[in-house]
Every structure is written in structure tokens, then in C-alpha cells.
Chain A
Amino acid sequence: MGKDIREDIAWAQINTDVLKSLESPRRLFWVIIGVAIAMIGVAVGCEIYQYQNGMGVANMDNPHVWGLYIATFIFWIGMSHSGTLLSAILHLMHADWRKPIYRFAEAMTTFSLMTAGLFVAVHLGRVWQIYYAIPYPNERWVWPNFQSPLLWDAMAIFTYLSSSVLFLYVGMIPDLAIVRDNIHPGWRKKLYTLLSLGWEGTDRQWRNFRITYLTVACFLIPLAVSVHSIVASDFAMSQQPGWHITSFPPYFVAGALYSGCAAIITLFIILRYVFKFEEYMTLSILKKTTRLTFAIAMVWTYLNLIEYATVWYGHDQVAKDLLIQKAIGPYAPFWWSMNFCGSIVPFLMAFKRFQTSIPVMFAVSLLLNLGMWLERWMIVAPTFSHGYYPWTWDHDQWPSFVQWGIVFGSFGWFTLLFMVFCKVFPSVSMYEVKEMVYHRTLALKKDGLATKGAH
């Protein structure tokens, strides 16, 4: 059992440790930022090229009209679920081990949603007309089509994004106050003063704070579930083989949590290293997260097998053909590695000695996310190249550098947002860690008294 947070750690110590992460960054930080910006540059370049010449340069075709954009869009939406899981769900479950890590998980939620949103725009043929999809009273006297899952999607994502931003912010107020009080005067102090909304830590403030936080948390959970269910309905509500599957919504949600947790492990390890948070992001937390991830991985695997089974034993020959095609057709390598990364690799997490081994977990978490990205691609692409209508089957459709470039860049974009966040806001929740430590010392004291009484 790895060393857990010391219960005798001084509260002041916590502040200084965490606040350190807001001080002027190490060189490595700038390197990462630089790389991220370079990646964004690639994506922007590709997008401009595509904007000017038309979607053709992404090398999609009729009927293969969707590609990596949609796949990666789902991937990022999926990412976003972990934060809500850790902070909201576990919050309600009073799992206090989450406390040191939920802050950056929430940040992840927000930023991956922001990334996902971009893909909606990138994917459109006439992005300059995107406002047609917004339901507002206009001089054309026409509304968007409220029947379209794509429209629900847009709305759900926007709601989710706005409320998770709210959640993140509300949760930060006490910490912002701490920062405000500890930072030397300057524009940043002003910023924190503004953001901390005059937090004094009075009883009344704490009471209201708790109620608000709880309410938002409760509000967020159904939202999180609905968002990915709706993304799933983009496919489930269509008529196409490989998409028209009842189990898609839970399947997607599970997949989302899965990739989300995997991402948390990755970032956990990175932050732990970059900001020297060994004190707080302890191995025992890693272990708990890993176990959680493993559980979800199994759920996902189960739902995945369910899907195959329903298709296989279903009457729908076309869908069955498609499944076979996935396994033996040109997409086979990706499909198999998807299944491998998604369902076999997680078993490493079942072994105790791996659960706390940083390098192994780092590799595993990356593999899991690769698997999950492939999963999304394998949902989107094969249906087009091997759908209902044989005449239009198209087995050698391959995304062009434009698609790859934009997908690649999106990771840079996410990294940039995240790194900046870690420098501007405390990425570990100080007040909650303090609570945690406090509770534990109480518990210890009780034990202490008990032992005395024995004499």
C-alpha cells in the first residue's frame, strides 16, 4: 500500500505546496506550451486550407461523408465525463480520496468540451452558415429542425459546457480566496480578488457555498449522462447498419467514463511529476482511480460484447455483414487493436503491483485512450464504406492529411488550455484537502483516546 496523505501535514504547508504550482513555471512547462501551440498551428493551417478549397481536401467522398472529425468529436465529449464523475458523483458518495484530484478532472471536463465543440464547426461544409442551427426568432421565419439529433447534440453540449464551467468555478471560490490572500500585490491579485467574490470563509458563506455546490453537482450528473446518450442517439436514431443499435446510449456513456478515467490517470501522473504533487496525488489515490477505471473498463467491455451479440444473433443481415467486414475488411487492424486496447490491456490494472506503478499505468492509460479513440472511429467509418447499398461500397477511403492534422492539433489545443489553467488556478483543491486531513486527524485522535482508555 503506497503512502497516503500524511495526516499531520500542516494546513499552511498545504497552501504553500499548492500555491507553488502558481509560481513562475519551469522550463519544461514552456516547452510543453510551445509544442502545444505548434500543434494548434498545424490544425489551423489545415482548417484554413479546407475552408478555402472545400471539404474535398479532407478526402471524404460520397457516400463516405463523415470521417475523423465526428469520431474525434465523440472522443472529446467522452473525455469530459470523468470530471463530472469524480467531482459530482463521488462527491455525493463522500469518497474523500477524490479530493486532491477532482479539480483538474473538472478542468479536463471543461476543456475537452471546448475542444469537442470545435469539431462540430470544423466538420460543417458551410461553417459560415452555422447560425442556421441556432433556434432564435429571425427574419427568415424558419426554425432549425427540432427532430434532428444533431440539434439536440448542439444544445446538450452547450448546456453541459456552461454548467460544468459554473461547477468548476463555484468549487474554486474558497481556494481563489486563499490565493488572493497569499499572492503579492499586482494584476493577478486583482483578478483573484474579483473572482473570489469577497469570500471571507464565514459560517454563512460556507453554508450557502455547500448548498450551491451540492445543487450544481446534482444538476450536473443527469446532464452528463444525457449528453453522451444524445451523442449516441446521433447514431442510434439513424437507420444505418452498425449504428441503429438500442444499447448505444449506455454503451457510449460507459465508453465516455472509461476514456475519461484513463485520461485522468495520464494527467494525474503528469501533474504529479510537473508540479511535484507527490504529497497530495499519492499512489493510493492512483490505485483507487485505477480500480475505478478497471471496473468501468469491464462494464464497457460487457456492453461492447452485448452489442456484437445483439448484431450477431439479430435478424439484420446487413448489420451482421458489417460486423464481419469490420473484423476482416480493410478496417480490421484498427478494429482488432481497438478491442485489444479497450478490453485486454485493462486487465493489467487488475494486478496490484501494476496499480501503483507509475510507468506501467502511464503506458496503460495512453493505450486505453488510443483504444477508445479507435472505438469511435470504428463506429463512424465502416458504416459508410459498407452500408446498405453495395453499389456504393468503398473500401479504400482514407482520411487525408487535413483530417489527421486537425485531429492532431486538437490535442495541442487541449494541452494548451489545460497547462494555462494549472498555472492560473490551483489544480489541487486546497480547502478540500484540508478537510480530508482534518477528518483523518480526528479519526486518529479517536483511536488514540481509545488506546489510552484501555489502560
Chain B
Amino acid sequence: MSLSNLLENWSQFRHEHPNNDKPHEEYKWAMSIDLDACTGCNTCSVACYAENNLPVVGKEKFAHGQAMHWIRIERYWDEDDREFADQGAQFLPMMCQQCEAAPCETVCPVGATNHTADGLNSQIYNRCIGSRYCSANCPFKVRYFNWYNYPTTENVWPEPMQQQLNPDLTVRTKGVMEKCTFCVQRLYSAKNNARTEGRLVHDGEVQTACQQACPTNAISFGNLVDPQSKVAKQWEQQKVELAKDKQLKDAEEGGTDLRGYRILEELRPYPSVMYLERVRESAI
């Protein structure tokens, strides 16, 4: 391993954000979540537990804020403190936003989290030394640290429950950071099959666990590079551009009839998840 090699591969090692010299070539995985369709039923979260070997930490640790839900459903109320929540609640599924210029990536001392050519924000458990700097610098706070050694903790995976564990991804031990990966194990097996057949993954061929389970189809996921993919169409239609920190929607004139937005965009992490604003009927 030579220093020159390090310098050569620097740009690949750190894919900043797409309007720099290296745009995404084959894949850019992205998501869009329709908050008007999301009912907050928590199915996605449970599906994620099932797919990604998430430990159930139990009441006491949950109380200490050590829950490991990679995707969490947040429930907000209207803040014009009215007597009743007569507009209902507002639900928001929050998971790692797979930022293009991810604040977590630059700070990791050992480069355990960095960007893949497919625009994923990879978290490499076996490289992680647990400095937790990434979580400290994450604006969305969607990174979850293994505070205990869950595989050996009582009642996390008691015999025979460990037989349910998904062999496609590592079971994390104490002291490593983890987070939503867009179900990377599914993405890579799909890419693998596609490559064997000498093609690209086509839209709908691969689904994330949350998307697959979502009963109202609120979550759509796909390849932003492929203009035919549903996600690409949605982003296009909502005039949300990956490499911008201010979208047409926020412009003074025009764009008001759009409802696509990205959370904390002004911090310029360039998230890969677009949310569609919840709609409420004004007639009633």
C-alpha cells in the first residue's frame, strides 16, 4: 500500500456530492416518502427489525435512550395549542438520510463510514472503533451505538430466536456504531444478479424492507440515475434536485404547488430521502 495509491484513490474514497467531478454513473439509490399516505403504523420499523438483526433492548435500556430502531416513526402535534388535535397527528418515518455530503463521513477517525459509488453512506462495523464522532455530528441523530453486547445479552436473542437472524449481514457486537443501510444486502444481491445477466437493476427489482412492508405504499425507493424509476420521476416532478440546498419549492414565485422537500437541507448534507408534505383538507 503506497502513499501514492492513497492519494490516487482519495477522490473515490470520499465521493463528496454529485455536482463535483464524479457524478454517479450506474446507480444512485434514493427514497421518497409520502407523508400523506404514511399512517404511522410502525410496520416499516418492525420489518426493519426482522430484516436487519436489530436487537430488542428491553424497557430499561429503552428508557436510557438506547433503543436501536434504525427507522423510527416520529409523531408530531400541531403547535397552535388548540384544545383537541382535530387535525390528527403528523407522522414521520426517520431513518439515515444517506446524505451525499454526509457530516458523519468526514469526521470518522478511521474511515469506518464513507460514501459508495452508488451514493450510499456505508457503515463498516468491523472497522468502527466506537469514537461516536459520527453520531455527534449527525444532524438527524439516526445513528445507533451498540452500548452493550447484545448477542450475549439475556433475552435479546434467546435460543432458538437467534435462528431468525439474517445471515446476509453481520450481527453487531458491543462498541460499534450502526444505522440504516437502505438494506444494502438486498441492493448488492440485486446488483449481482443484474451483472450476471449483463444489465442494470431495473426499477422495482429491489425493495427495502420498510418499503416492501409499507401497507399504504408511502415509501418508494429506487435508482435516481434511471430516469424511468418511480423515485426519479417523483424527484423530477417535485423539482427536488440532489445537489441543491434550496429547491424550487422554496422559491418566492412558482413551486408553491409542490410538496417535495428534504429535511434540514439548509445544512447542505444533500440527503437522499425526499419527503412529500402531508396534505390536509381545508373544507372540513
Touch between A and B in complex, CB under 8 Å?
A: yes
Interface 1/0s, chain A 386-410, versus B by CB < 8 A? 0111011010010000000000000
> 8 Å CB contacts to A: which residues of B126-153?
127-133, 135-141, 143-149
Q: Is there contact, CB below 8 Å, between A59 and B111? A: no
A154 at the interface (CB under 8 A from B): yes
Q: Is there contact, CB below 8 Å, between B132 and A61? A: no
For the complex, what is the distance from the CA of A392 to the CA of B143, rounded to whole Å? Answer: 11
Q: Report the minimum CB–CB distance from B113 to chain A (whole Å).
A: 9
Q: Is there contact, CB below 8 Å, between A62 and B65? A: yes
Residues on the B chain within 8 Å of A55, using CB: 130, 145, 147, 174-175
For the complex, what is the distance from the CA of A135 to the CA of B67, rounded to whole Å? Answer: 34
Q: Is there contact, CB below 8 Å, between B139 and A56? A: no
Q: Which residue in A144, A149, A239, A397 is a CB contact (below 8 Å) of B111?
A: A144
For the complex, what is the distance from the CA of A339 to the CA of B130, rounded to whole Å? Answer: 32
Q: How large is the interface on B (under 10, 10 to 19, 20 to 34, 35 or more residues)?
A: 35 or more
B107 at the interface (CB under 8 A from A): yes
With most chain A CB atoms within 10 A of its CB, the pick from B72, B103, B107, B143 is B107
Q: Which residue in B103, B136, B149 is a CB contact (below 8 Å) of A384?
A: B136
Residues on the B chain within 8 Å of A66, using CB: 132, 136
Q: Report the minimum CB–CB distance from A132 to chain B (whole Å).
A: 4
Q: Is there contact, CB below 8 Å, between A125 and B131? A: yes
Residues on the A chain within 8 Å of B129, using CB: 124-127, 129-130, 132-133
Q: Is there contact, CB below 8 Å, between A391 and B94? A: yes
Residues on the A chain within 8 Å of B137, using CB: 238-240
Q: Which residue in A137, A144, A148, A392 is a CB contact (below 8 Å) of B1?
A: A137
For the complex, what is the distance from the CA of A54 to the CA of B176, rounded to whole Å? Answer: 10
For the complex, what is the distance from the CA of A363 to the CA of B65, rounded to whole Å? Answer: 39
Measured CB to CB, the nearest residue on chain A to B1 is: A141
Q: Report the minimum CB–CB distance from A152 to chain B (whole Å).
A: 9
B264 at the interface (CB under 8 A from A): yes
Measured CB to CB, the nearest residue on chain B to A151 is: B109
For the complex, what is the distance from the CA of A289 to the CA of B74, rounded to whole Å? Answer: 55
Residues on the B chain within 8 Å of A144, using CB: 109-111
B284 at the interface (CB under 8 A from A): no
Q: Is there contact, CB below 8 Å, between A56 and B94? A: no
Residues on the A chain within 8 Å of B38, using CB: none
> 8 Å CB contacts to B: which residues of A14-59?
53-56, 59
Q: Is there contact, CB below 8 Å, between A145 and B109? A: yes
For the complex, what is the distance from the CA of A123 to the CA of B130, rounded to whole Å? Answer: 8
Q: Which residue in A63, A132, A138 is a CB contact (below 8 Å) of B135?
A: A63
With most chain A CB atoms within 10 A of its CB, the pick from B109, B129, B176 is B109
B267 at the interface (CB under 8 A from A): yes
Interface 1/0s, chain A 107-140, versus B by CB < 8 A? 0000000000000000111110110110001100
Q: Which residue in A56, A65, A129 is a CB contact (below 8 Å) of B136?
A: A65
B61 at the interface (CB under 8 A from A): yes
| A125-B130, A125-B174, A132-B129 known; A65-B74 Cβ under 8 A | no
With most chain B CB atoms within 10 A of its CB, the pick from A63, A141, A391, A394 is A63
| A55-B174, A133-B110, A384-B136 known; A150-B131 Cβ under 8 A | yes
A60 at the interface (CB under 8 A from B): yes
| A150-B131, A384-B136 known; A61-B65 Cβ under 8 A | yes
Q: How large is the interface on A (under 10, 10 to 19, 20 to 34, 35 or more residues)?
A: 35 or more
Residues on the A chain within 8 Å of B139, using CB: 239-240, 387-389
A273 at the interface (CB under 8 A from B): no
A347 at the interface (CB under 8 A from B): no
Q: Is there contact, CB below 8 Å, between A389 and B141? A: yes
B161 at the interface (CB under 8 A from A): no
Residues on the A chain within 8 Å of B133, using CB: 148, 150, 234, 238
For the complex, what is the distance from the CA of A132 to the CA of B129, rounded to whole Å? Answer: 8
| A54-B174, A55-B174, A389-B141 known; A148-B149 Cβ under 8 A | no
Interface 1/0s, chain B 179-219, versus A by CB < 8 A? 00000000000000000000000000000000000000000
Residues on the B chain within 8 Å of A145, using CB: 106, 108-111, 114
Residues on the A chain within 8 Å of B264, using CB: 388-389
A12 at the interface (CB under 8 A from B): no
A64 at the interface (CB under 8 A from B): yes
Q: Which residue in B109, B138, B145, B175 is a CB contact (below 8 Å) of A150?
A: B109
For the complex, what is the distance from the CA of A234 to the CA of B108, rounded to whole Å? Answer: 11
Q: Is there contact, CB below 8 Å, between B106 and A65? A: no
For the complex, what is the distance from the CA of A147 to the CA of B114, rounded to whole Å? Answer: 12
Q: Is there contact, CB below 8 Å, between B136 and A62? A: no
Q: Which residue in B1, B131, B146, B267 is a CB contact (below 8 Å) of A123?
A: B131
Residues on the A chain within 8 Å of B132, using CB: 65-66, 125
A142 at the interface (CB under 8 A from B): yes
Q: Is there contact, CB below 8 Å, between A397 and B65? A: yes
For the complex, what is the distance from the CA of A36 to the CA of B139, rounded to whole Å? Answer: 41
With most chain A CB atoms within 10 A of its CB, the pick from B14, B108, B145, B176 is B145
Q: Is there contact, CB below 8 Å, between B110 and A132? A: yes
Residues on the B chain within 8 Å of A302, using CB: none
Q: Is there contact, CB below 8 Å, between B130 and A56? A: no
A143 at the interface (CB under 8 A from B): yes
Q: Is there contact, CB below 8 Å, between A54 and B147? A: yes
Q: Is there contact, CB below 8 Å, between A54 and B109? A: no
For the complex, what is the distance from the CA of A14 to the CA of B264, rounded to whole Å? Answer: 67
| A133-B110, A143-B111 known; A56-B66 Cβ under 8 A | yes
Measured CB to CB, the nearest residue on chain A to B69 is: A62
B64 at the interface (CB under 8 A from A): yes
Q: Report the minimum CB–CB distance from A256 to chain B (whole Å).
A: 21
Q: Which residue in B67, B140, B148 is a CB contact (below 8 Å) of A54?
A: B148
Q: Which residue in A61, A147, A237 is a CB contact (below 8 Å) of B147?
A: A61
Q: Given A56-B66, A62-B66, A66-B136, 16 more contacts at CB 8 Å?
A: A54-B148, A55-B145, A55-B174, A60-B147, A62-B141, A63-B143, A64-B65, A145-B108, A145-B109, A150-B133, A239-B137, A387-B139, A389-B140, A389-B264, A391-B72, A392-B65
List B residues at the A interface (Cβ < 8 Å): 1, 6, 14, 61, 64-67, 72, 74, 94, 103, 106-111, 114, 127-133, 135-141, 143-149, 174-177, 264, 267
